Each structure stands twice: as C-alpha cells, then as structure tokens.
Structure 1
C-alpha cells in the first residue's frame, strides 16, 4: 500500500483527528505575530561614511535603535559562548540545556540557571510576560515557529537589537555607544564580552553597584574564549586589564538639528544621510570659533548649510550654535523664516536680464529717491549718482535695486518668486511694496540655498548637455542618496536662461571679500565664488550665500529672538564664516560660459545703453533674446569752439567752423553725486557769452522731493531743527534765488543749500537761477 493510500485510509477512519491536526497546524502557523516587536524605536541618522551623527530617543523614552544590519563577529562569538553555544545546531530550543536547568533549579530550591536558547530569549523579549513554566512552554512553541520564519543571522540581529543593557539603554548599538563611545564593530574582546554578559543582569552596569560581579562574569567568559581558542593568551591577558565603563558616554550630536528635521518624515528609522562627517565636524568648529567672538556683541545664534550642486545633497547642516537654552539653542535657524535682506537682489537681476530689460553695463541712477512716499536708503547712506547695474548688484546698493524693481514691475517679480517656493514669502505684492527687494519679505536659509543651488545646476546641466534644460531642474535638496529625476530635456528654459544666470553669477563674483581682502581675486590660490550678502533692517539678520559649480554655502547670523545688535551685517558677521567654510571644501572651477545663449551687441562705452550715433561704443555679450533697453540718452553731440572751451551754436558762429564732439553728460542730480567719485567726469562746457543758449542749464532738487511729508525733530534744548534744502545745478557758480510760498528767503552761489523752519502745513518752495530758469516742489510740514 502506497503512502497516499495510507493517508486516504487514515482520513476515512479518523476524520476528527485529521481536522484537529489541521487546526493545530494552522494555529501553529499563525501563532507568531507578523511584527514581533512593536515597541517604538529611536530615529538614527548616520553620515554618508556610515558613522553615527545623532539620534532622537524613542517615544517611550528608551534608547532603542532600529534592528542592526549585522552582528559583529567578536560580539557574536562572546554572546554564543555565554548564552547559547549550540545556537546553530538546535531548532529553537535545547532539551539538554533545559533538563540541566530544571535539575539544578530543583536541587537548589530556586531558579539558579536558565535553559533558554537565544531564540527563546528573543520571543521572551518580544512578549515581556511574567515568568512561569507555562509561559516558557509558550516561548518554546513560538521559538520553533520563529526558526521557521527567520534565519539564524536574523534571530541574532533581533536579540542584539532588543536585549536590555540597563536603564533606558536597549540593544547593542546604543550600549556600545553609551558605555564605550564606539560603534559595535569597533569593540575589543573585553568590551564585547562585557556587553555579551550584561543582558543577563543589566543592573550590574551602574557604577559602584556590584561591578565586581560584572567583572567576574566578563572574565569567566574571556577565560572560556581562551579555552575554546577563540583568542590567544596575549589577547586574554590584555583583555583582563581593560577596565569596566565608569559612566555613560553621550551619543554623538554633531548635527542635532538635522536629526530633528529628518525625524519629521522618517521617525523611528535608521537613515544613512548624505552628510559628510568630516565636513560637518569642520563646519561645527568654524561656527563655534565665530560664536566665541559674536557673543561678545550679544549675538548668540548662527546657522550654516552646505549643498552639493551636482547631486543636490545636503553635505553639512548646522542649525544653530552650541549656545544656551535661554538663547534658543534648540531653534533650527536653517528652517526659520527671517527677513531676507538683500539676498534676493540677484533674482531680480537675473529676471531682468532674462526679460531683455537689463544690460549689465548700463548705468542705473543712484540718487536720493522717493517713490509714492517710500524713501529707500543705501546701507552706507551715500550715493554714487550713477552706477553700472552689475556693479550695483556687486555693491548691494539699495536705491538702484528699488528703481530696477519699479521699472521691471513689482507684481511681475513677486509672481516669479513663487517658482522658487521660498518659505515665508506668502503675501501679495501690495503687501510688500518695493521693500520686497530690500528684506521686506521673509524666507529661510534652506529655501534661499535651494534656489541658488538650482540656478547653478541649471547652468551646469546646460553646459553638460547639448545646450538643453531639464524640465524638473528645480527640486528640493535631499538628505540621502536618491536618484533624482530631472525630467525631460528641452531647449525651453525652466525659469531663467543659462546666459542670465551666468551673468548674474559673474556680477556676484566681483564682490570684495571681507576683512580687507579687497584684492583676493588676484591670487592664484583663491577660489572663484559668486556670493551675496544681506542685512535686515535693525541689524537683526546677517546673511551670506556663496555659489560655485559644485557647492552652495549659506550662512545666517543673528539672534533667534529677533533682537538686533550693532555691527551685525552680512559682510562683517556672516561672510567670514562663509569663506572659512569654502576653505575646507575642495576647489571648484568657475562656471563655463553658455555660448549658445549669448549674442554680441554694441553698447555705448560709458553708459552701457544701446548705441546711438553720438557715443563711442564697445561690444559685449548679452542673453540672446529681444532687447527692450532704451538707446543711450546720456550722450549728445555738442558743437565746440576751436579751443574746445565753450559750446557754440548757429546764433554766434558758422557751424561749419565748429568742432562736433560726442559728450557724456548726466542729468543734474545724477551728475552732482557722480562727479564726486569720478574725477575724470567733465560737465558740459558753458555756452560762449555771445551765444544764445537753446538749452538752458537745468537744475534739480536733491532734497526734498516733490510731495514729501516732513516732521521737524527737536534738539537737546527742545528747539526745532531746520529743514536743509539742497539743489543741484549744472553750473554751480550760477546765482540761485530761493522762495518759500512766493516769498524770497535767500540767495546761494556755488553751494546751493539753505536751512529753514517752515510753519506746519503745506508749502511751495521755488528756486530761480540768474538765467531765469525755475523749479519748484511742494512739501507738507507735520
């Protein structure tokens, strides 16, 4: 009779027994929970080198790391020799060990020996039930089921990850850090033996409490290792000399704010991050070095973020200084929204280049300005008269930036900023007004660095491909090694074209380094870096962001509670940190010029505007697109006498005998400030006396502007201070007559300034020069 026939015959004769057997088999199959351990685990973050950089404790207050990847050989050897020498030979339980344990316990009248295998101990740790013989029976059954489900290696990992090591320390990973300050694979034989015997009596680890018992247990295990020839005599005797741990070591905290950030989306997981441990340690040291001096000025907080442009990974993340809790050391200033200062000026510059509304060399007015009641000021409270657009960006001049924003369109620029997803920038254009470009909006270091990283990546990819753009270029930085999908390639730009980005970085590169290194770019050992500073109103926030082909470094300095301090600026407080960080990064080559996105044009050599027949020209490269910049109106053809001392016209000479010459001439107000810093600037020559001027010398108010509302302040004696009226005249030597509400009040010559104290209310100020030219403004005294 075949086996099959016997089974059929047994089923017909004993159907109930067969059903019962089937039920027991199903119960056995499902008796072990799918998830053996449901206890919460700590969030563990490792560097790209695999070293621990920080962890966040589990929700139940236990230091319990996720299951380890592998059990080190030394620890495995020690553990098996101490707990379960036949681990690889039994199937969940060891009947010989159990019999010996029962006999010893009966003889002693109490529990003096355990017979559980490591597999049974894993089950016991997962169930956490009161000890009894019935419970041990359940553990035995579940242990055999566990052997069916998992390999021996996995069972070892489960034990090593959940064994108790005293206090709130659970698992080998945490224990090796807490008691020896090492990773498990770095443990010596003596240290491995200590951790192998400790779960058997975890209370022995506390200093001064029965440590001799722990030492004896460890040494007995070492002696067994010697006897079994796992270690030699020299190793044994050296291991005996090693002391037991005296106090717990703190877990590494080299990037605590990064751990908190990762824990938001990977709670309870072990994450191998993109952080470079050596770089992180260096940046930590740099931040702490500057914190020592910053706190002398009662500046307590700083943050640094380093991103890899090519992989878009976070390489270093310092969320704050190691200051006190009272000074908000736990606030992550990488993510905190703060006033942006001037950090978004390059975005306006790139936007206008991309729109064909800006040429890098064109002159932008830098004069006292009032727009709808708003009066911007440069940081140094001085004026250049006129300055090249690229120089205005490099020098971070506020007035040119505001004028450019007004010209470009506030609403248009505000809408474009949405592409960059800047956190904190969530109001309408009307809410910010023109202050948007000077720090009227808020954002954070993470999003600002992300923006410049994506711009740099756009330029790199354009040069690396066949002059194409990726549709998904603008992405978030990543904490881990992820394969990024940049989308499909296209000739259509993502946000700004590569030429506009390149010219923006070129302008940012011209900024002088701090601490007197004005000529740093002339040294071969220097690094070419495009960088931008920012300082918020009231010196509350100091920013610096630097970009190379490979890295973006962002720095914020200030007080987390918003308190401003004197001398806290982007140049003096944040920039030195930035360049120290770049000094520990590998050198990067400068960006390649994206030639396919450029076109050569002729511009006026002095004004930078499109050429006319009246100006000397030069050839420059600009983004290849329709250009909406006006032709130059700062150059004019003038007729001069033979000596070139005076202008002439047809009213006094035969123009065929006059000398025609192109002359660069600025409007009076721009000229007034421009010639102070440009000694070679030549104002228009006056008309010869016998010539009738067809274009009288113009003049313009420097202060106040038309429609100004002015409050008179008081001095220490309680007396009202004067309003100082200033005028720019193309011929300063011309006499000027001042009138207040049509009443003559004063005459000036050469220096056209007067002070007066008008009554409250509306007034008209009129100025008439000796040639009969007249200008006026209306002001209100409040």
Structure 2
C-alpha cells in the first residue's frame, strides 16, 4: 500500500524509474554473439577429428560445455581474481585504473572484469572511451542477472581473441599446442591465459621475451598462492613457448564435409573410434602408395558395428592430390557393382525355396540373345554347386540362376534393401544386373550386409524373432541410437536360415581360378566376404562381415578410368583383411535351427535325395528348401551281367538285367564337368543289339546359337578356320556335318569339324547315325 501511495504522489518519478527499469531489462540482446563458428567433429571419446574454418575466416569453435580447470585457474588469476565476488564490475580496480590513467595522461591500465570484457567482445568495433566503459558497466550488471558466473566465464573463454585468426580456448589449444584444452600443462594453460590481454602484441612465434615474461609471472603467482608446488613451478618455467600455429587434425575430412552440408558451424560428436580411424588411414595410405604405381588413385573404407549400427571408420578417399579428386567422398557415390550383388541373388533364391546350397547349377557357354556372359578365367566347370559358384564368383552360373529365378523377382528383393542408386526398372538392367549392370554405393551395400548379419544375431538371441526395422541406415552421430522396431515372427526380407547359408558360402575363398597373382588370405577368424570387379576394370570391391563388424572397401579412380589389375580380389581384398586385423575377433554366427530342417541330400548333385540316389548325406537346409525338386541327375539304368553295357527287355531276359542308380549330366554339362572331375563316369553304351532303344542327346559346344563370329587372320593375311564342336551323349556314334545343306564330312569319338565359311548367315546341321538332327544358325562377320 505504501508503494502505491508513493507512486500516486510521485507519478513522474515513478514513470521515469519504470521506464529506466524496462530499458535496463531489455538493454542486453538475447544473443550476445552472432559470429559464425567453425564446424567441428569429434570421435566417440570426444577427441578432435577435424574442423572447417568459420565463414569469416576465424578459427572459432562452438561454445564449450566445460572449461578445463587448469586454464580456468590461470585466466581468473590473471584477468579477474575477484570474479566470483563482484556484481559484474570491480569498483576498486576501476578506481585504481582511473587514478593511474589520469596521472599518466593516457590509458595505461584497464580495470575491466571478465564480465565487462564479455560485453566488450560482443560490442566489437566500439571505441574504448569512458562513456563506452559506462555502457559496458551497465550491461555487465545486466549480464550478471541473466547468467550464472560459470556461463559468463564460458562466454569469455569461447570468444576471447588468442592472436591471429584464433578465437576461444578450444581452437587456441589445438592451434598452438596440438591438443585438447583439457590436456594442457600448467605452463601451456598459463601461456594461453595471458594472450587475450594483448593478442596483437603477444603472439606465438613473435615477441617471445614479452610472452615468456608474462607467462612466468603468472606461474609465479600460482606458486605463491599454493596452486602448484615448487617442482611443478620449476618444470613449468622451463617449458618452451609455441613457435607457430599447428594445422588442425584432419582425421576424417570427408565425414567433416558431409556433416558440414547439413550442420554447418556446429560441434558434432560422432560414432567414430579415433584409434581405428587413424589406423585405417594408415592402412589406406600404405595401399595407396602401392596402387598409385599402377595409376589407381582412390580408395574408400567404411566400418560398421553390426549390433549398434554405428559407423566406426569413415574414410571417404585416399590421401591423393587434387588432380585425382581427393575431395570426392566416394562412400555415397554410385559405382558399378561388379559381382558384389551375387550374395543377394543367392540369398533370394534360398529364401524363395528355389535353391539348396549344394545344388549343381550349369556352368557352360551361354548366350541370351546378344548377351554372352563369361567367367573371369574364361573356363567352364560344366556343373558346379551353387555355393561354390558364389564363393568362386563364377559369372555364368550367376546369370543362369538369375534367368531361372526371374529378373523381376530378384529386382524386388533389391528394392526392399533400399539400394537408392537402383533408379530404373528391371528390364533396363537385364541379366547383367547381377554382374555389375547396375550401380550402388559403399554405404548402402555395407548397410545391407550389416542388416543381414544383425538379422541372424537377433534371431538367435531373441527366441527366434525378427525385428521390423532391421534394414535401417547406420548412424554417425553419437547421440543417436538405432530403433530396430518391434519383434515379429515374420521375416523382413531374408529369413535367418537363408542368411546363414549365404554367409557359410561366403566364408570360402572367392578367388579367380588359375590366377597366379592371387595371395591366399588366412585370417584367424571366420569372415563372410565377397569381392567384385566392374566391367572394364573400373571398380574393385570387397565387403566382409562377422557377427560384430562389417568392413567395406572400394578401390578405383574417381573419374572412372579403368586400369589393368584393378580387380577386387587383388586390390580391395588386401585392404579388407588389413582392416579386419585391426578389429577384435568375433565369434561365428550360431546356426538358426528353428528356421532349418535336416533332410537327405544327394551328395553328388546337392539336390534333395530321390529314391534312387545311391550316395546320401544328412544336411540342414532352410525350411523353404523342402519344396525344391528331388535330384534330376540320378537315373536308374539297366546293365548286363558284366556291367559294361546298357540293355533292356528287347535284347536280354529280365532275370539277367542288373539295375543300378547312375549320376548322369546333360551332354554339354558333362563335356566340361568330366575335365574337372576325373571320377565322373558317363553312361555305358547300349549293347549293339539294344542300341535302337536308346535315347540320344547332342548339343553344340561352340558356337552358340545365333552367334556372330569374327574369323581371325594370321600375320600373312590368311583367314583361320572356324572349329565347330558338338557334345554327344554317345561319343562313339558317327556324326555327319552339313553347312547350308551341303555335306562337309563326318566325325567319330571327338566331334570337332573345321570349316572356312564365307561372310554372311549359315545353317549348320549335324545328324548322328541314328538319324537324330541338330541345327544351328551362325553369322560370319567380315
């Protein structure tokens, strides 16, 4: 009531006081500092990985959360010993400074507190007059009302000048001592504490005597007040001064650039393991120094933690030069996949129940229209188990498997993996999709391998359940965490058994056969890994996974230039295993028994055993594998008493017929298979009096149907012959050859026929002694 009465009696005075209080309340801007800051990234242990200078050319890090205790003690003792006691200004200091300045006739001494200096720093460009000092004093008191002492001190040490273009203690400690501010010694902390007082006069590398004198005077104060002991003091004053600024660390420069695109000017704590990142950089540098001799200049490496999906290592490029595009971050750039998608096809076919791991698949010369895939070694096995075809990265079986499985079906599996560089429909890529006809990037591929590994881990650890968000993006920021979604009994993409069987196949060494430059990589742990090489030797891949880690490597030239020897197994695989050697060893995946069933398998064909298979083994397959067909390669043959000839009831009494199960491949597969499998036995011939009852088959080995052939010439200009080859189920039968209905000769046992046709289209006809006929069209090009 007294206050109201006073206001009524003194309205003018009350209004003036009210306006003054309102003006005082709003006199301080909400945001004192609007200067741009550097983009800073740190490791998962808060070690500096790299920084991008602020837009105004200053090394000004974002405001610190805490102030190192040593530097805090030094700066308070040097700048404002009564910081925690005054209300924003120190009357005694102001009086002493005013008295000294008046007596000398010029400004010789300040008197500003740290709070006042914060205000002065925020009002940059203002002249240092007494009127300006009065403004600073008023604003300083307002600042004391708004912020705690710790916050004010933090503002000061984050924005104080430290000479040149260095602002703030965090940037200064790295620029002058190449370490975190929390790791500075007493001498180093004292050196930095005296710099803001006169950063233009005292600068590392210049005015060394003056800087040394001020530093040692501060150290003496620390000794005198008992902060440091005598030994520490003596050791501290013997320390040298910084001579020039250090360059800031650039341990993960491409990740820094990636983060700066969306979070410029911020301090981001990443998931990177600094020790692993630095060791990875060393590995990449060593291999780069070797590969550049072959004009291969770019390498990228990504390491993921399977269980947390955190990025542990991010190497976007090798330490090459600007001419070879060292600034390009290749981890997220689309590149031709080579064979790196083959495991996804294998897993898709297992998951769909179209394949078993040991099922024999054809490996013979193949042509689909104008597309003719070839194996890396240009050889053929005739028939090879699906898992061996994957581990050896055979191209022809992969394309034939894709054709049988269905291009659209496989494409839908890939779309579920969210490979963002698959931008066209399935027909655009065609059957080359599995051999590098499409593009993807290291990030998406590693993400997919990690998700498959995590699927297995979760299935075995959580009562045979899947998680709805298993196939998610890895995380780079330390504050983030993966939400794997809700548990479910339903698979997300691949079931656990198909994934496990795929990884089991990938444990085998996938090396180009007969490649003398290959070195056998023997690891102390099991790793499921795969290499890839794009057409024209432009991209080399290697990706591997354990139950804990995924490592992905890409090698090549950023401009797409191909180089001889740029092969995944020769260039990317050595880096992959060097990186795995840096990681802790992992246990191999547990077998997901709840998604598997033990069945009888025909040992020779890898199919589910039929009733006539004579060599059966027990094996665990995926549940969906129960719908695969029984073995088609075993047939019941009827032999005479000697076992040398096939017979039937037309030429032998039934009581004398001996029936036996026989493993027999189609002629073309058998032709190549027996060269790699010496114990393969072809079906016995029919006895001469029974031969008419036999069924016969023959196929062209070379050339393929609708082939366009270029006949090579010798140095003297002579055109070489075209050698036609046919495989017959009964080689001893005589074959008769015709070109365009003109008889050209006969063959027996070895069915090769050399011809020299004219350019143009020709019809090749082969007739065996039983009247079976085979026709083939070819085109001879000039």
Matches within 5 A, 1:256-275: 256-275=253-272
Are the equivalent residues in 2 in contact too, given 1:534–1:544 (CA < 8 A)? yes
Matches within 5 A, 1:93-108: 93-108=89-104
Instruction: Name 2:593's counterpart in structure 1.
Output: 595
Query: 2:278 pairs with 266, 281, 289, which one?
Result: 281
The number of aligned residues is 774
Instruction: Name 2:58's counterpart in structure 1.
Output: 62
Task: Name the CA distance, whole Å, in 1 between partners of 2:160 and 2:774.
Answer: 89
1:402 paired to 2:393: no
Task: Name the CA distance, whole Å, in 2 between partners of 1:30 and 1:716.
Answer: 95
Instruction: Name 1:695's counterpart in structure 2.
Output: 694
- The C-alpha deviation readout for 1:471-510, integer Å capped at 9, x for no partner, is 1111111113323221111101111111111111111112
- Partner-residue secondary structure (3-state), 1:533: strand
Are the equivalent residues in 1 in contact too, given 2:475–2:481 (CA < 8 A)? no
Instruction: Name 2:342's counterpart in structure 1.
Output: 345
1:684 paired to 2:680: no
- Partner-residue secondary structure (3-state), 1:748: strand
Query: 1:237 pairs with 217, 230, 234, which one?
Result: 234
Larger deviation, residues 526-535 vs 411-420: 411-420
1:500 paired to 2:498: yes
- Partner-residue secondary structure (3-state), 1:305: strand
Larger deviation, residues 641-650 vs 219-228: 219-228
Q: TM-score, normalised by structure 1?
A: 0.96
Query: 1:219 pairs with 216, 234, 241, which one?
Result: 216
1:380 paired to 2:392: no
- The C-alpha deviation readout for 1:117-161, integer Å capped at 9, x for no partner, is 111111111221322333222222221111112111111111111
Instruction: Name 2:729's counterpart in structure 1.
Output: 730
Task: Name the CA distance, whole Å, in 2 between partners of 1:755 and 1:682.
Answer: 28
Larger deviation, residues 596-605 vs 626-635: 626-635
Task: Name the CA distance, whole Å, in 2 between partners of 1:715 and 1:143.
Answer: 95
Task: Name the CA distance, whole Å, in 2 between partners of 1:361 and 1:454.
Answer: 25
Are the equivalent residues in 1 in contact too, given 2:159–2:167 (CA < 8 A)? yes
1:123 paired to 2:119: yes
Instruction: Name 2:538's counterpart in structure 1.
Output: 540
CA-CA distance at 1:689 after TM superposition: 1.6
Larger deviation, residues 319-328 vs 694-703: 694-703
Q: TM-score, normalised by structure 2?
A: 0.96
Are the equivalent residues in 1 in contact too, given 2:338–2:436 (CA < 8 A)? yes
Query: 1:74 pairs with 46, 70, 75, which one?
Result: 70
Instruction: Name 1:570's counterpart in structure 2.
Output: 568
Task: Name the CA distance, whole Å, in 1 between partners of 2:747 and 2:62.
Answer: 83
Instruction: Name 1:135's counterpart in structure 2.
Output: 132
Matches within 5 A, 1:32-51: 32-51=28-47
- Partner-residue secondary structure (3-state), 2:661: strand
Instruction: Name 1:634's counterpart in structure 2.
Output: 633
Instruction: Name 2:654's counterpart in structure 1.
Output: 655
Larger deviation, residues 476-485 vs 273-282: 476-485
Tell me: CA distance 1:210–1:472, structure 2 relative to 1, closer, same or farther (3 Å).
same
Are the equivalent residues in 2 in contact too, given 1:513–1:520 (CA < 8 A)? no
Stretches of structure 1 lacking an aligned partner (at least 5 in a row): none
Task: Name the CA distance, whole Å, in 2 between partners of 1:68 and 1:95.
Answer: 30
CA-CA distance at 1:207 after TM superposition: 5.6
Are the equivalent residues in 2 in contact too, given 1:340–1:443 (CA < 8 A)? yes
Larger deviation, residues 17-26 vs 435-444: 17-26
Are the equivalent residues in 1 in contact too, given 2:382–2:672 (CA < 8 A)? yes
Instruction: Name 1:759's counterpart in structure 2.
Output: 758
- The C-alpha deviation readout for 1:350-370, integer Å capped at 9, x for no partner, is 111111111111110000000
CA-CA distance at 1:714 after TM superposition: 4.8
- The C-alpha deviation readout for 1:570-611, integer Å capped at 9, x for no partner, is 111111111111111111111111111112233322112233
CA-CA distance at 1:73 after TM superposition: 1.5
Please report the RMSD computed on the Cα atoms of aligned residues, expressed in angstroms.
Answer: 1.9
Larger deviation, residues 231-240 vs 69-78: 231-240
Task: Name the CA distance, whole Å, in 2 between partners of 1:777 and 1:134.
Answer: 103
CA-CA distance at 1:659 after TM superposition: 0.8
CA-CA distance at 1:76 after TM superposition: 1.2
Task: Name the CA distance, whole Å, in 2 between partners of 1:364 and 1:37.
Answer: 70
CA-CA distance at 1:756 after TM superposition: 3.2
Query: 1:21 pairs with 17, 32, 40, which one?
Result: 17
- Partner-residue secondary structure (3-state), 1:693: helix
CA-CA distance at 1:717 after TM superposition: 4.6
Are the equivalent residues in 1 in contact too, given 2:350–2:624 (CA < 8 A)? no
- Partner-residue secondary structure (3-state), 2:726: strand
CA-CA distance at 1:541 after TM superposition: 1.0
CA-CA distance at 1:628 after TM superposition: 4.2
Are the equivalent residues in 2 in contact too, given 1:512–1:518 (CA < 8 A)? no
Are the equivalent residues in 1 in contact too, given 2:176–2:204 (CA < 8 A)? no
Task: Name the CA distance, whole Å, in 2 between partners of 1:572 and 1:668.
Answer: 36
Instruction: Name 1:454's counterpart in structure 2.
Output: 451
Task: Name the CA distance, whole Å, in 1 between partners of 2:57 and 2:408.
Answer: 51
Task: Name the CA distance, whole Å, in 1 between partners of 2:134 and 2:50.
Answer: 41
- The C-alpha deviation readout for 1:677-708, integer Å capped at 9, x for no partner, is 10110001111122233234322101222222
Task: Name the CA distance, whole Å, in 1 between partners of 2:511 and 2:42.
Answer: 35
Task: Name the CA distance, whole Å, in 2 between partners of 1:295 and 1:636.
Answer: 56
Are the equivalent residues in 2 in contact too, given 1:651–1:692 (CA < 8 A)? no
Tell me: CA distance 1:516–1:413, structure 2 relative to 1, closer, same or farther (3 Å).
closer
- The C-alpha deviation readout for 1:41-62, integer Å capped at 9, x for no partner, is 1121111122111112222222
CA-CA distance at 1:519 after TM superposition: 8.7
Tell me: CA distance 1:32–1:755, structure 2 relative to 1, closer, same or farther (3 Å).
farther
Task: Name the CA distance, whole Å, in 1 between partners of 2:495 and 2:686.
Answer: 49
Tell me: CA distance 1:716–1:561, structure 2 relative to 1, closer, same or farther (3 Å).
farther
- The C-alpha deviation readout for 1:349-406, integer Å capped at 9, x for no partner, is 1111111111111110000000122100111111110011111111111111111111
CA-CA distance at 1:209 after TM superposition: 3.3
Tell me: CA distance 1:519–1:182, structure 2 relative to 1, closer, same or farther (3 Å).
closer
Are the equivalent residues in 2 in contact too, given 1:724–1:755 (CA < 8 A)? yes
Task: Name the CA distance, whole Å, in 2 between partners of 1:774 and 1:65.
Answer: 83
